[in-house]
Structure 1
Amino acid sequence: MVIPRRALESGPWAAPVAAEPVHATVRLPGSKSETNRALVLAALSDGPSQIRNGLEARDTRLMRDALRVLGVTIDDSDAGVWRVTPPARFSGSGTIDCGLAGTVMRFVPPIAALTDGTVEFTGDAAAEVRPMGPLLDALYDLGVGLDPVQATGLPFRLTGTGEVAGGPLIVDASTSSQYISGLLLAGARYRNGIDIRHRGATTVPSRPNIDMTISMLRERGVHVELSAPDRWIVAPGPIRAKDVTIAPDLSNAAPFLAAGVITMGSVTVPDWPTVTDQPGDHIRRILTEFGSRVELTPAGLVVTGQYPLQGVDLDLHDCSELTPVVAALAAITPEPCRIRGVAHIRGHETDRLKALATELNQLGAHVREESDGLSFRPRVLHGGDFATYADHRMAHAGAVLGLIVDGVVLDDISCTSKTMTGFSALWDDMLDQSAEYAFGQSGADAQAQGQDS
């Protein structure tokens, strides 16, 4: 039987403890990264298109509302199929609420530059400290009007002239790959296309996200040239309308797969793609390094926990959104662990390195914050409060730990709605399946004993 729990979508949330190994099949909603790119490309395309299995979450609602401000028509009355009709010409003025969505903050301004009006960009208080300076510098270099001129983040006003010349740009994308993706997505609509070169102190993080952007552009007939490292050229021309079906969100799969690992159970995620640019696909390699059995089967991706967890030394530079869940596993591993290559996540929804070190150590872990990651030494954890910092990935980490550490209480579970509406209900369903599995197993064992006697 599952220990009683609170399945709330707001306020403090007592993370449920797994009374038995987790055995469940978890069907996940669509990818946030794919959904918001598909919405942007549909808005920029040469005709109407449809998006199936689009993620219904705060980030994608903010993206739809942002595009509507720019004159895009989006009919999302049918939850299964969204119909997007681009305007003949981007126009209008208004205010765009970016919330805490990096994709809205960084993908929409290059489109707003094509309008003939003034658009104000605002967001959550936490979003105002997220870096945007390199993107805004690039737009200023392209002749886009900004107020204030020296803006480095939200809030700001952008005034377009109806078209953008485009051409060569130097961008320091050390802190976010989204600067590159945002400019690439709109680049084909600029008069001369766009020629982007990255120059910065460090390499571009989360490159699979740029690969995803390029793949989705090419699927719509856009010519993208990769003539040299850290250089991306998009030729001017139409973006062909394309109906698409969004794949499951592989990053959001991480806490559920980790549940199977941390409880020595087994979790299946159906419809796992055999080929994908989603950074979340790295979770297969990561969980294998922890010693888990990972199999891609006709039923989906199946992950089975193996005892004991093995120590890891992981470079998560290309899949940094997985860091919080990986850190939760590392904190309970009976061998030293290290996560590196993720200095840039200090500028995500919160400073994730500081937040993880603080909250894990308060539960008794031995975590040391390093310049580009975290190091872990084995410790026995105990219950306590776990702050989420309004960060959905932090909430995922706390939920995973709560499965085996009694008394973990998250200050807010509602932040998970950023990329997954109803996370706690899906979490509860996973544990209900596990209870039913355990009951079935005990019944089968009793029957077998009866036959033996």
Structure 2
Amino acid sequence: MAPNPAHTTLWPAPHASEAVAATVHVPGSKSVTNRALVLASLASEPGWLRRPLRSRDTLLMAAALREMGVGIEETVSSSSSGAGSPDGTGEAWRILPAGLRGPATVDVGNAGTVMRFLPPVAALADGPVHFDGDRRSYERPLNGVVDALRVLGARIDDDGRGALPLTVHGGGALDGGTVEIDASSSSQFVSALLLSAPRFNQGVEVRHTGSTLPSVPHIRMTVDMLRAVGAQVDTPESGGEPNVWRVTPGALLGRDLTIEPDLSNAQPFLAAALVTGGRVLIPDWPARTTQPGDRLREIFTEMGGSCELADYGLVFTGSGSIHGIDVDLAEVGELTPGIAAVAALADSPSTLRGVSHLRLHETDRLAALTKEINELGGDVTETADGLHIRPRRLHGGIFHTYDDHRMATAGAIIGLAVEGVQIENVATTAKTLPDFPELWTGMLGV
């Protein structure tokens, strides 16, 4: 696995000379923003998204929906002008649903939500919609969505690859019905079908046939957001069959939704408090949420910190010690890179389990973490479903990112405690966390 030669710029990861004491305003959730964009575009009336995340993944989603005819008006207001969103503060996107149309061309970049959530939307368009993306997107599994859509009545040209590039020949409607899929490689296969299902003539019944199902909280997020816009959804948690989700056809309501902070993107800042024995406040941390990142409170507390959740946000405090952990991350796999970085600095070994599906993410995250931490002097080995990390004295060096935003933030965490770490292509963090270098140096008072 070779680093991308197109990205040779090195960013010196700041080294922390003292305990961090900072308030960090984390931008909105990518997962919530992109689900909200899809649901608002399929609604029967206009809606608002307030404080949406503006990042590569969300802008790709918005651009794709515009290509298919959806109106998305971006407004930014100030306290002096009072313009923009209904409460006159902050950024808001006004979503104006329209008849979905083709021909259209969608650039998915390397965004899993775009490449998986939008083919079902395209099946409802009147005309062909072509999907293409970054080189790595061709390697990411899409067969669960493609095969399911064919069973439900869609016509798709992918030359038998079950991957990008492909063309969905929208017929203006889709029959829907019952479909079996194996979502072991990505829970997004399930979410993709559920999000558009209210617009299918028969709705949908999705039956997961695989032996494992990663990132279940993301499916719960999809279900909660569907119900919030008026959809009827039966789930295993609501008394239905195990691994079966049913969505009844019906109109979706326009909503006025304020996007939560991205709790997974809060991870490096919480890790900074843990690594430096400092204190970080993340404002507006929700008391109730389906975001997987909320589990950081439990995991980082077990690794040596403490937290307090108040009305104004989450305060996380490091103790000055970092402990190893044995943890199953199957439901929260996206947190693995940051946890691995902290574990490499701990006082005892760690085992991270249940994340074999990370080999199919933006990069092979298990191989990438093993290689990069070991090249800084670490001792990481891959297991069948995760990583075993034995802390060692680390040294400086180049930390490659493989166009993966969470690899970049993992390297920055290590750089807090290890002088001389240089992050290759830190700009890849713009995928979900715009201005990460500025937020990071601001936290450190640099």
TM class by shorter chain equals over 0.9
After superposition, what is the alpha-carbon deviation per residue over 1:230-252, rounded to whole angstroms, capped at 9, x for unaligned?
Answer: 00000000011111000100000
Aligned match for 1:394, one of 407, 421, 442 = 407
The one-letter amino acid paired with 1:209 is H
The one-letter amino acid paired with 1:254 is Q
What does 1:369-384 align with in structure 2 at a 5 Å threshold? 369-384=382-397
The one-letter amino acid paired with 1:85 is L
Q: CA deviation at 1:308?
A: 2.2
Q: Distance in 2 between matches of 1:10 and 1:304?
A: 35
What does 1:345-424 align with in structure 2 at a 5 Å threshold? 345-424=358-437
Q: CA deviation at 1:149?
A: 4.7
Q: Distance in 2 between matches of 1:414 and 1:133?
A: 30
Which structure has the larger Rg? 1
After superposition, what is the alpha-carbon deviation per residue over 1:158-180, rounded to whole angstroms, capped at 9, x for unaligned?
Answer: 10111100000001100001111
State the TM-score, normalized to the length of structure 1.
0.92
Q: Distance in 1 between matches of 2:285 and 2:73?
A: 28
1:278 aligned onto 2:287: no
What does 1:238-253 align with in structure 2 at a 5 Å threshold? 238-253=251-266
Q: Distance in 2 between matches of 1:358 and 1:104?
A: 29
1:157 aligned onto 2:157: no
CA RMSD, Structure 1 to Structure 2 (Å): 1.2
Aligned match for 1:225, one of 228, 234, 257 = 234
Q: Distance in 2 between matches of 1:10 and 1:53?
A: 33
Instruction: Indicate conservation of the 8 Å contact 1:70/1:90, yes or no.
Output: yes
Aligned match for 1:211, one of 210, 220, 225 = 220
Q: Distance in 1 between matches of 2:227 and 2:129?
A: 29
State the TM-score, normalized to the length of structure 2.
0.93
Could you tell me which residue of structure 2 aligns to residue 179 of structure 1?
189
Q: CA deviation at 1:107?
A: 0.5
Could you tell me which residue of structure 2 aligns to residue 43 of structure 1?
41
Q: CA deviation at 1:81?
A: 0.9
Q: Distance in 2 between matches of 1:185 and 1:156?
A: 20
Q: CA deviation at 1:297?
A: 2.2
Secondary structure class of the residue paired with 1:252:
coil
Count matched residues.
423
Secondary structure class of the residue paired with 1:333:
coil
Segments of 4+ in structure 1 off by > 4 A?
Answer: none
Could you tell me which residue of structure 1 aligns to residue 357 of structure 2?
344
Q: Distance in 2 between matches of 1:146 and 1:323?
A: 34
Instruction: Indicate conservation of the 8 Å contact 2:378/2:393, yes or no.
Output: yes
Instruction: Indicate conservation of the 8 Å contact 1:311/1:334, yes or no.
Output: yes
Q: Distance in 1 between matches of 2:139 and 2:421?
A: 29
When residues 138 and 149 of structure 1 are mapped into structure 2, their CA distance, relative to the original with a 3 A threshold, is farther
> Which runs of 5 or more structure 1 residues have no equivalent in the other structure?
1-8, 436-453
Instruction: Indicate conservation of the 8 Å contact 1:136/1:151, yes or no.
Output: no
Instruction: Indicate conservation of the 8 Å contact 2:351/2:389, yes or no.
Output: yes
> Which runs of 5 or more structure 2 residues have no equivalent in the other structure?
1-6, 77-89
Could you tell me which residue of structure 1 aligns to residue 96 of structure 2?
85
1:313 aligned onto 2:331: no
What does 1:60-209 align with in structure 2 at a 5 Å threshold? 60-78=58-76, 80-87=91-98, 89-200=99-210, 202-209=211-218
Q: CA deviation at 1:117?
A: 0.7
Q: CA deviation at 1:324?
A: 0.3
Q: CA deviation at 1:294?
A: 1.5
After superposition, what is the alpha-carbon deviation per residue over 1:345-399, rounded to whole angstroms, capped at 9, x for unaligned?
Answer: 1100000000000000000111011111000112111000100000000001000
Q: Distance in 2 between matches of 1:21 and 1:332?
A: 15
1:53 aligned onto 2:66: no
The one-letter amino acid paired with 1:368 is T
Aligned match for 1:269, one of 272, 282, 289 = 282
Q: CA deviation at 1:128?
A: 1.0
